[in-house]
Structure 1
Amino acid sequence: MTTHASSAPVPRVRHRPQWLVPAGLILLSLIPVIAGAARLTELTGGAAITAQNARFFASPVPAVTHILSVTTYSLLGAFQFLPALRGRRGWHRVAGRILAPAGLLAALSGLWMAVFYPLPPGDGPALLVLRLVFGSAMAASIVLGVVAVARRDFVRHSAWMTRGYAIGVAAGTQALTGLPWILLVGPPDEPTRAVLLGAAWVINLAVAEYVIHRRARRTVRARRTVRVPAVVPAAVPGPAAVVEVAGNVPDRRTFPAKRTVSGDVEAGRLDSRA
Structure 2
Amino acid sequence: MTGAKAGWRVPAGLIALSAVPVIAGAVRLTELAGGPQVLESDARFLAAPLPVVLHIPAAVLFSVLGAVQFASGFRRRRPGWHRAAGRVLVPSGLVVALSGLWMALFYDRPEGDGDLLAGFRLVFGTAMAVSLVLGLVAIRRRDVARHRAWMTRGYAIGLGAGTQAVIQVPWAIAAGEPGGLSRTLLLGAGWVVNVAVAEWVIRGRRRATPG
TM-score exceeds 0.5: yes
Relative to total residues, which structure has the larger helix share, 1 or 2?
Answer: 2
User: How many equivalent residue pairs?
Assistant: 208
Unaligned runs of 5+ in 2: none
State how 1:99-248 maps to structure 2 within 5 Å: 99-220=89-210, 223=211
* 3-state SS of 1:48 partner: coil
Deviations 1:103-154 (A, max 9, x none): 0000000000000001112211110000000000000000000000011101
Q: Which amino acid aligns with 2:13?
A: G
Cα distance in structure 1, aligned partners of 2:141 and 2:178: 46
Per-residue deviation, 1:187: 2.5
* Match 2:70 to one of 81, 87, 98: 81
Match of 2:85 in 1: 95
Higher relative contact order (CA 8 A, sep 6+): 2
TM-score, length-scaled by structure 1: 0.73
Match of 2:17 in 1: 28
Q: 1:58 to 1:18 in 2, by over 3 A?
A: same
* Match 1:58 to one of 44, 47, 50: 47
* 3-state SS of 2:46 partner: helix
CA root-mean-square deviation: 1.5
Moved more, 206-215 or 185-194: 185-194
* 3-state SS of 1:52 partner: helix
Deviations 1:192-228 (A, max 9, x none): 11110000101001111111011111102xx4xxxxx
Per-residue deviation, 1:46: 4.2
Cα distance in structure 2, aligned partners of 1:186 and 1:122: 15
Per-residue deviation, 1:45: 2.5
Q: Which amino acid aligns with 1:83?
A: S
* 3-state SS of 1:187 partner: coil
Cα distance in structure 1, aligned partners of 2:135 and 2:69: 14
TM-score, length-scaled by structure 2: 0.94
Per-residue deviation, 1:16: 8.4
Q: 1:49 to 1:153 in 2, by over 3 A?
A: same
